Structure 1
Amino acid sequence: MKLITHIIALSFLLVSSAYADNGLITIKSHHDVDATVELLEKVLDERGMSIFARIDHAKAAEDVGIDLRPTQLLIFGNPMVGSKLMMCAQSAGIDLPLKALVSQDEQGDVWFSYNAPSYLADRHQAQGCDKLVENMTKAMASFAQLATQP
């Protein structure tokens, strides 16, 4: 059953996301920004991940008189995973913990964006962490799917 879930998540990722040269994966959500972030928090909690911060960029902008569409950043991770990546390339710590940005565009569509773990590994020239990066990729795809789908 777990293998099927991973295959579905990976298929979803390949079909539904845009992977640009900058390593950003972006997936359309079927929910508003708040609901998407709340679903992500629930999934992360169920998976035993630590949630370090939820930043409401639109609220911060409003506080200084700037009108910004709904935009929230969730910072999360698991030291058992992130620390292992840093053992392969300590500089990866600049990109950890992991982050997910959920934002609404001009048309009202909501997007879930995150850094591809393979991009982070390449960026930091992590050696010997291929299986770890593969597992992180599967996990992030699963988190994104569960937070964005109906």
Structure 2
Amino acid sequence: MIKKVMIKKISYIIFSLAFSNSVLATESMISVESHATVKQTADRFEKILEEKGLTVFARINHGENAASINLELAPTEVIIFGNPKVGTPLMQCSKTVAIDLPQKALFWEDNQGQVWLSYNNPEYLKERHNIQGCDPVINKISGVLSMLSKAATSK
């Protein structure tokens, strides 16, 4: 069992690296390198969401919040967004996935000044919530998140 899980993890990482050296994948999160600032990337992402008819529930600027209490934090923002046409069928497969919905995208700058867009890996949500019989929904979410991320982070 452990060997099978390790092979799956290693295969996923190799697959991710083979298609882009600007994407970091972990078991639970996918991070895409951006060639713009945190604000520019988040602005692009939000604009694309609106153009695609997705609902933007909130945008949180953690950097500004930190500054309001005289603390420093590298640029860090979160956009909370979703679409009930996709989220509802997922929740019908597993009610507990609602704790991870609506979707969130994190825009952040690392210690070297590189900007990233990160989001929950839908495959991780599938495993976390033991979602069965919803592969088409998981695949659709994966595709949409990938498309949104690439569009928001490209030059």
Same topology, TM > 0.5: yes
Matched, 1:129 2:134: yes
The residue that corresponds to 2:4 in the other structure is none
1:48 alignment partner, SS class: coil
Q: Secondary structure at the match of 2:151?
A: helix
2:27 is the counterpart of 1:50? no
In structure 2, distance between residues paired with 1:117 and 1:106 = 27
Q: CA RMSD in A?
A: 1.7
- Measure the CA separation in 2 of the matches of 1:77 and 1:40: 13
* Separation in structure 2 between the aligned mates of residue 58 and residue 114 of structure 1, nearest angstrom: 18
2:106 equivalent in structure 1: 101
Name the structure 2 match of 1:20.
Answer: 26
Identity percentage over the alignment? Answer: 41
Question: In 1, distance between residues paired with 2:145 and 2:18?
Answer: 9
Shift of 1:65: 1.4
Q: Is the 8 A contact 1:13 1:141 kept in 2?
A: no
Query: What is the SS of the residue equivalent to 2:108?
Result: strand
Q: Which runs of 5+ in 2 are unaligned?
A: 1-15
Measured after TM superposition, the shift of residue 12 of structure 1 is 9.4
1:66 aligns with 2:65: no
State how far apart, in whole Å, the 1-side matches of 2:17 and 2:57 are. Answer: 27
Rg larger in 1 or in 2? Answer: 2
1:82 matched to which residue of 2?
87
Q: What's 1:37 paired with? A: 42
Q: Which has the higher contact order (CA 8 A, sep 6+)?
A: 1
Structure 2 residue identity aligned to 1:17:
V
